[in-house]
Structure 1
């Protein structure tokens, strides 16, 4: 409930509730934080898995990933205090605001997600949950939150390429924001959307419809190759650095 106190934090609003916990936007003094309360019953069932999120967040220092401020473990409460990240979820922006993402904005958003994934994978971390409810956007900057399913990459059960299908599905949500359904029969996304050949192949490889990319560096290279098919400067194609500077 708003204005309720949890430990020393004032609850501003409930952000969401999942299987393992409840997330609150809270304040303490003049500062805003995210307070994630973990459900003890689910923690006991999860066992060692419950420790992954804490350990992974402790290892990260990136402007688009929330910092773990502190852990709270008391008889009546178990959870984390996390850095508050600006922006609204892409889920709200797409489905409540009905915002239409044009190509330029899709690539600006996508380039930031690729950079975040480069950082995570360089730290041997796979996120496994890059979805529109877990990504925040303020019109310029993208933030990635909710590391509850993140794991250390071991190239067996947890592989880096698991993130690629999530990235592809996320981008499809942006493409579909401008889609107008006509007809009485739904078709697969690669038949419904009007995509350039390079876009189509890029998304198919992310989604595993075609041979999946082997690394985030390969994804990055193909992302900017796809970019170049659309972005022109005075009639000439931009190179990768110019594209990167333009959209970040």
Structure 2
């Protein structure tokens, strides 16, 4: 019994068959699970394998992602397809979303985001958050590895830390610092450090006053926004020239 608790989960390799799917490649591995790109011969999907040790340790917390994804219907969020439970596997199949992570686009491609593109990307994230918060869901993990982009459309993935908003431990405004940090990554893609002294972002980035205020309120440097509608209002005012 003790041995089975610590036995490593089976990892699946390209071309291997699993249920009705063929494993194409491993996309990534986190604390709670492993994600694979799979296909059924016609379409591609994401297979998420939940780690048994974490299922035992975290219990019901691991199930929040499944519960929340089942409740969502949004073009920028992967659709829950089905659950798979077997003796040697616990997990589910999700819709495959196109695009590369912003992490790869920024750090591998060295892509520079101009203001107009920052507006287009940010606008989509604000709309996604409006939808999630309207469903009483806080994502809590809007980061460059968890956002996909094909040059036009933004998709938000990895709902492993998402929770139902209760205005106590889980609040909607938790997403605002993540959104601010995400936007800072886009701004810093064009930043060139001059000299050796690193300064706070609000000193070293060349930001317009409205951009500075928006980011400070998202990050909590100034009084943080209390709702996504306040964020939306200031966001559109900040990027008025690009609408």
So what's the TM-score if we normalise by structure 2? Answer: 0.94
Give the Å deviation of 1:11. Answer: 1.1
Pairs aligned (count): 231
2:82 aligns to what SS in structure 1?
strand
Partner of 1:173: 185
Return the alpha-carbon distance in structure 2 between the equivalents of residues 217 and 147 of structure 1: 22
Partner of 1:152: 164
Give the Å deviation of 1:121. Answer: 0.1
Return the alpha-carbon distance in structure 2 between the equivalents of residues 5 and 186 of structure 1: 50
| Structure 1, unpaired ranges of 5+ | 232-242, 244-248
Return the alpha-carbon distance in structure 2 between the equivalents of residues 7 and 55 of structure 1: 22
Return the alpha-carbon distance in structure 2 between the equivalents of residues 6 and 97 of structure 1: 33
Partner of 1:206: 218
Return the alpha-carbon distance in structure 1 between the equivalents of residues 19 and 194 of structure 2: 53
| Structure 2, unpaired ranges of 5+ | 1-12
Give the Å deviation of 1:160. Answer: 0.0
1:27 is aligned to 2:39: yes
1:138 is aligned to 2:138: no
Give the Å deviation of 1:8. Answer: 2.5
Give the Å deviation of 1:6. Answer: 2.1
Partner of 1:71: 83
* 1:202-224 superposed Cα distances (whole Å, 9 cap, x missing partner): 00000000000010000000000
Partner of 2:59: 47
Return the alpha-carbon distance in structure 2 between the equivalents of residues 118 and 25 of structure 1: 29
1:91 aligns to what SS in structure 2?
helix
Partner of 1:37: 49
Partner of 2:27: 15
Partner of 1:237: none
Partner of 1:121: 133
Query: Deviation above 4 Å: which 4+ runs of structure 1?
Result: none
Cα RMSD after superposing both structures: 0.7
1:109 aligns to what SS in structure 2?
helix
So what's the TM-score if we normalise by structure 1? Answer: 0.92
Return the alpha-carbon distance in structure 2 between the equivalents of residues 8 and 175 of structure 1: 43
